[in-house]
Amino acid sequence: MSDFTELRLDGVGRRFAGKDALADLDLTIAAGEFIALLGPSGCGKSTALNCLAGLLPLTAGSIWQRSQDGERRIDTLPPEKRGFGMVFQSYALFPHMSVRRNVAFGLQMRRLSRAEVKRRTDEAIRLVQLEEHADKLPGQLSGGQQQRVAIARAVVLEPSLVLMDEPLSNLDAKLRLEMRTEIRRLHQSLGLTTVYVTHDQEEALSLADRLVVLRAGRVQQVGTPEELHSRPANWHVADFMGFRNILELEATQVSGTEVVVQGEGLRLVGTSTGGVATGDRVMAAVRPEDLVVATGDNATGATVDVVEYQGRELAVEARTSSGRALHVRTDQRLAPGDEVTLTVRPERLLVYPVAPGEHAPAPLAEAVAG
């Protein structure tokens, strides 16, 4: 469906009142790719998407579209000349028009024949499985169904690129999961190229071929779900990707990639991600599921503090003797007050360098109290 082979963002930036909302974004999107823009609130995700869409002029850089005929610059084109489809958090459907008319509207504006409009509208409605609801008004549909209409309306125009800004954030948990699968299915079956904005790392990991993690307007890492999950590029990305234990410690011994980290009553062996020297202050990051309740090497003692039931597993907060809170996931039936030994495999404790002035994120309870 794409009429391009590649879309290239070259040093794209956007400033508001002298402050960078987005800076130096270099990214090449291949036709057929599913890209997720991921990051915490205010990191510049929507700004990036709106720059791509043409809703926001760039203040730096350029955007290029490559096709068989060569490369052309598109950031100077108005949104309607770019041929992109858009799906937003708010569905923005016409409330007085039926589902069918909402979906057909864009095709009618293009002055296609009546038969062609009908054929493509029926096809789009079938793809999002709304055949039974085609004659209803948006107000008679659930949130998930309305979002399906919004998606059908975007894909019916066979856009070269579909831009989605948190399209599932208004839906309840079950529907979010269903629509997630739906979006991935549509992306594949229609051969779409999709750029999808979300702050939900799980959603991004499950949907995208590649993720772009932003923080404070700057790209932190671009990679496959696997790369982001196992090897975050810095401790901020690790923190965002579910390494809930970020410990500010000292590297007391470095040999190759093996690092001994110490502080807060802990002494553990971890794996350097590069740029760590003996005597450095570092961040040691470990996922709750990689802190294992078992006796063994590379361990610390802790007392169970809070236990949350989460189906087959428990989410446990334990405290070391120095008062450091650690997040643990375990299938062992622990209770508050239990004394446990927590071990970690050195390759699962990632040790990151720290920039001057940076400090570990405060645990939520302390942040609130403080």
Task: Return residues touching ligand ATP (CB under 6 A).
Answer: 16, 21, 39, 41-47, 199
- Residue closer to ligand ATP by CB (options 48, 261) is 48
φ, ψ for residue 159 (rounded to 5)?
Answer: -70, 150
- Residue closer to ligand ATP by CB (options 11, 57) is 57
How do 258-263 and 70-73 pair as beta strands?
Answer: unpaired
Contacts 24+ apart (CB under 8 A), 113-120: 120/156
Instruction: Say which DSSP state 266 is in.
Output: E
Contact assessment for residue 171 and residue 14, using Cβ atoms and an 8 Å cutoff: no
In the complex, what is the shortest distance from the CB of residue 45 to ligand ATP, in angstroms, rounded to a whole number? 4
In the complex, what is the shortest distance from the CB of residue 19 to ligand ATP, in angstroms, rounded to a whole number? 7
In the complex, what is the shortest distance from the CB of residue 44 to ligand ATP, in angstroms, rounded to a whole number? 4
In the complex, what is the shortest distance from the CB of residue 228 to ligand ATP, in angstroms, rounded to a whole number? 17
CA–CA dist 145, 112 (Å, integer):
26
- Residue closer to ligand ATP by CB (options 228, 351) is 228
In the complex, what is the shortest distance from the CB of residue 61 to ligand ATP, in angstroms, rounded to a whole number? 15
CA–CA dist 163, 181 (Å, integer):
17
In the complex, what is the shortest distance from the CB of residue 7 to ligand ATP, in angstroms, rounded to a whole number? 19
- Residue closer to ligand ATP by CB (options 26, 366) is 26
Handedness of CA 263, 268, 274, 276 (dihedral sign): positive
Instruction: Say which DSSP state 355 is in.
Output: -
User: Tokens for 243?
Assistant: 């390494």
- Residue closer to ligand ATP by CB (options 199, 345) is 199
Determine which helix (DSSP H) or strand (DSSP E) holds 64, and give its type and residue range.
strand 60-67
CB atoms within 10 A of CB 114: 10
- Residue closer to ligand ATP by CB (options 37, 134) is 37
